[in-house]
Amino acid sequence: MCRIVRSVTLADHQSPKEKKLVFLTARVHPGESPASFICQGVIDFLVSQHPVAQILRDHVIFKIVPMLNPDGVYLGNYRCSLMGFDLNRHWQDPSPWAHPTLHAVKQLIVQMNQDPRVSLEFYIDVHAHSTMLNGFMYGNVFEDEERVQRQAVFPRLLCQNAPDFSFSNTSFNKDVVKAGTGRRFLGGLLDDSSYCYTLEVSFYSYMTAGSTAPVPYTEETYTKLGRNVARTFLDYYKLNNHIKDNRPTHIQSEDIISPTGDRNNKGNGVSRDAAADKEKDKSQGVRH
């Protein structure tokens, strides 16, 4: 059962420069519970004392809404809200009465996009996929070839950091049926320095390079993908030179301390033995 019910804003208030802003949402479709574990991985990493997380907090603002459809999750719905709406088809004109969470988040995104102190550069909506393997992304289609190439940079970097992420499954489209999704609507609303993605992850398995059989996803491997998503912003914004004393930039489970002070996500729904987990990951080829 999903246990994520919080939103996190991380920002450094010491720098007068325009800050980069990353906006992430999840669980607009309530039955896609793997999205919550990815979001959990992002949040737990960003609030940890890992050197990469500290650098990211100093240079990037993260706005995170981990559950866009809380009433649907509470009711056990697969795709719809309490009112029977697929919220991910109503971004164009959300109603404050029928789609209150969507309406509020859209207003916040528009407000942040107009704030001269920040540059809203990413919107990522996290989902789970019922037929495809691995993690992958959907992006938008642009006429400007340079913008097309820039849009591919983040998923390519994520593919290098996360062995379970597939760039070959990543695609860019403008299907009419998806016009009301967050990715499509915000991709047309925000300026050409912003990139909007749907991050999908398989409900069941992933395959790493060179493997011959799929590996079942677990709560922990979903959260690892979330940690790798967060870590990839270090590469995207070329912040590696801010890491001091040659400290490692790779992520291990024991490096992540939850807000309760527990290591390895204990107490927040993903409680596992760290040593056993590392051995399991080694056998599965999972990168920490």
Rounded to whole angstroms, the Cα distance separating 167 from 117 reads: 33
Rounded to whole angstroms, the Cα distance separating 111 from 166 reads: 33
**Which bin fits 245, alpha (ψ -120 to 50), beta or left (φ > 0)?**
left
Tokens 């992304």 label which residue?
137
Helix, strand, coil distribution of the chain in percent, nearest 5: 35, 20, 45
Q: Check if 200 is active-site.
A: yes
Catalytic residue among 18, 143, 145, 200: 200
Rounded to whole angstroms, the Cα distance separating 37 from 26 reads: 10
Question: Smallest Cα–Cα separation from 9: which of 47, 35, 49?
Answer: 47
Output the CA angle 58-63-67, nearest 5 degrees. Answer: 145
Handedness of CA 131, 218, 7, 82 (dihedral sign): positive
8 A C-beta contact, residue 113 and residue 196: no
3-state secondary structure of 120: strand
For β-strands 195-202 and 205-206, DSSP reports them as unpaired
Instruction: Give whole-number Cα distances, 46 to 68, 74, 210, 217, 231, in Å.
Output: 20, 27, 31, 22, 9
The residues that are catalytic are 200
